[in-house]
Structure 1
Amino acid sequence: MGEAIEQFFASLPARAPAVLRGPTTGAIQLDLTTGNRTDHWLVEMRPGAVRVTHGRGPADAIWNSSADLFERLVTGRAAAMAAVLRNESTYSGNVVLFLDFRRFFPDPPGTRDPRDTARERLGRSG
């Protein structure tokens, strides 16, 4: 398993208060495959908190992905929704958990908030 993936999962509990502000509660099992090996991660989410364990468990949803794709997701080089829609990974179960979990992924490198761009343009013309 790549270092970026390990760091991503390790960072989730500290980042949860800022990311998980809604009422969603549940667990996602992530099955990350490299060749013929699969690593399992269980992410239990509740408002403002996450518990991560390396292994299987009771889950409300299961997400299957290659470890390579997941590393691109955690580094902002791929988008979770696009990966699922292109069938590069599969997801089954409570879709609200997916929508909340994907908020942990970073924006692509070089992405800027459009509000900042608008403020800059207003500052130059005003």
Structure 2
Amino acid sequence: MNATAEQYLRQLDTARRPDLPETTAGTLRLDVRDDGSTDHWYLTVADQQVRVSRSADDAELVVRADRAVFDRMVRGELHPGAGLLRNELTVQGDMQLLMLLRRIFPGPDGARHPRELGRAALVGNGTTTARDERQ
């Protein structure tokens, strides 16, 4: 994916996202710095849905970084935790919500979930699990 963070956030729909934990809810504000100005994106996560608006309201977690850093996260080139450790981004608030960004932003091109790979391997060699046999 070659989209920028702004392009990705603008097109992010509010459909249910099964990759988000059902019990996780919170608000995140992304402060995207570029050329002396800051754009604010406000994300509300609830019921496995993400709603995006443009607001500088207070949030449970505020993430600040340069536009290039957010663009790298959107492309799956930078994990938010690694960016934090490298001082490429700063956070203030509920750190548990930081890992939601990894699930909200797409992963690297061609990436697949480990469970998906495991299922494909089982199907490919004819192996069944105890769970498969019960069904």
TM range (shorter): 0.7 to 0.9
Change (3 A) 1:15 1:95: farther
Change (3 A) 1:49 1:120: closer
Percent identical among aligned pairs is 31
Q: Structure 1: 5+ residue runs without aligned partners?
A: none
- Once the two structures are superposed, the pairs formed by residues 2-41 of structure 1 within 5 Å of their partners are 4-41=4-41
Q: Structure 2: 5+ residue runs without aligned partners?
A: 128-135
The aligned amino acid for 1:67 is R
Q: Which residue of 1 aligns with 2:132?
A: none
CA contact (8 A) 1:61 1:91 kept: yes
Scaled by the length of structure 2, what TM-score is found?
Answer: 0.75
Number of aligned positions between the proteins:
125
> How far apart in 1 are the matches of 2:61 and 2:34?
21
4+ long deviations beyond 3 Å = 11-16, 110-115, 117-124
How many Å apart are 1:24 and its aligned residue?
Answer: 1.8
CA contact (8 A) 2:74 2:107 kept: no
Scaled by the length of structure 1, what TM-score is found?
Answer: 0.79
The aligned amino acid for 2:20 is L
